[in-house]
Structure 1
Amino acid sequence: MKIRVLPIVVTAALSLILLLGGWFMYRQTALERPIEKMLTNYPGVTSAQAHITQKQAVLKLDLESNVDLRGMIAQLRKEQGSLLEGRSIKLDIADHSTPEIEELWKQASFSVAEAMANKRYTMIPDTLAEIQNENNGYTISSDMDDRYVYVALSSASDKKANKYIILPLAAATGTGGQYNA
């Protein structure tokens, strides 16, 4: 009996293509598309792309100013919790910062880092409100859930100028923040 190599190789290649294609289609239609649809329907989200692996969900977001990040993440976990179960969420938010907004964050970052390191989270809104009062024309807000502190900086005159910082409650020693939720 003579074994033909060509039909075996072609069969193996077609099987691999069908398996990988099936996984890709499943990931696109059953996992990523519902998350993208929910995010793009959330107020203030300009665009959203999801990339889901076995361990994490990477969400690329383009946001307008003053989006409620805590509310968005809570709604995402509520509506798509079964899809995200066992996966960490990593947010990749498009940065529409200006030099002025960067300077505001630079002023606030040390106080925020100190409050995070000492676990005195109630200091954060007071510090940000004080900096906002000193700099008319800018909005600085903060919010918190059981995992993160969310800080949003935006310009009143330029609706597209904004910066979002997400700081984890677990390891709150840095000032740059983590883009994970």
Structure 2
Amino acid sequence: MKLRILPVAITAVLSAALLFGGWYAYGHYGVEKPLEKVASSLPGVVSAETSNSVNKVVLKLELSSDADLADIYHKVETEGSGSIGGKKLELVVSEPENEQLEKAWRSALFGVAESMEHREYSGVQDAMDSLAKKVPGLTAVTEMDDTNVYVSLKLGDAAKYVILPRQAQEMGVWPNA
């Protein structure tokens, strides 16, 4: 039996194109677009962009200064559960930098990190309350659920949102701090 190279090569290329094209189309239209639609419809969300990988879905959000971070996370997780499936949801919040907010956050970071390390989550709220007393006009809101601690800092029209995972990471700092 003699195999012809050209028909075998064409069949292999077409099969690979169909397989990977279908995989890409499912990821884009079956996971990313529905999740972006859910996130964009929530109050406080200015824009949403999704990237999908094998074991997690990363949702990059731009939030307005009056957004409720914990509520957005929960609604995306529940309403988008069909798209997310068994993958891990990771929210990355991007906001314009405000030097005064960044400085205030850095001054409280030691107490926050220590509280997170010792799993004494009320220390995060205490650190944010003392920060709000130190910085005039700063509003600090701290919320917690079974997976994350959510910190929202607001100063005038500027806002900073931080999601601190309750499950400690092995090495490094919080990726979104």
TM-score using structure 1 length: 0.85
- How far apart in 1 are the matches of 2:14 and 2:71? 45
- How far apart in 2 are the matches of 1:118 and 1:4? 67
CA gap of 1:95–1:144, structure 2 versus 1, over 3 A, is: same
- How far apart in 2 are the matches of 1:93 and 1:114? 23
SS of the residue 1:11 aligns to? helix
What are the equivalent positions in structure 2 for 1:115-126 lying under 5 Å apart?
Answer: 115-126=115-126
The aligned counterpart of 1:168 is: 165
Deviations along 1:125-151, one digit per CA (max 9) or x if unpaired, are 232122112212322221111111111
Deviations along 1:55-102, one digit per CA (max 9) or x if unpaired, are 111111111223212111111221122332321122222142211111
> Which piece of structure 1 moves more, 138-147 or 127-136?
127-136
* Structure 1 residue 176 displacement after superposition: 4.7
Q: One-letter code of the match for 1:168?
A: P
Is 1:139 aligned with 2:136?
no
Is 1:81 aligned with 2:78?
no
Residues 35 and 76 of structure 1 are in contact (CA less than 8 Å); yes or no, is this contact kept in structure 2? yes
Residues 34 and 83 of structure 2 are in contact (CA less than 8 Å); yes or no, is this contact kept in structure 1? no
- How far apart in 1 are the matches of 2:50 and 2:7? 38
The aligned counterpart of 1:103 is: 103
What are the equivalent positions in structure 2 for 1:1-181 lying under 5 Å apart?
Answer: 2-156=2-156, 159=157, 161-171=158-168, 176-179=173-176
> Which piece of structure 1 moves more, 22-31 or 90-99?
90-99
Residues 51 and 59 of structure 1 are in contact (CA less than 8 Å); yes or no, is this contact kept in structure 2? yes
Residues 116 and 166 of structure 2 are in contact (CA less than 8 Å); yes or no, is this contact kept in structure 1? yes
> Unaligned stretches of 5+ in structure 1?
none
Q: One-letter code of the match for 2:82?
A: S
- How far apart in 1 are the matches of 2:19 and 2:169? 42
- How far apart in 2 are the matches of 1:56 and 1:172? 16
Deviations along 1:132-172, one digit per CA (max 9) or x if unpaired, are 1221232222111111111122321xx2x322211121228
TM-score using structure 2 length: 0.87
- RMSD between aligned residues: 2.4
SS of the residue 2:143 aligns to? strand
- How far apart in 1 are the matches of 2:4 and 2:172? 63
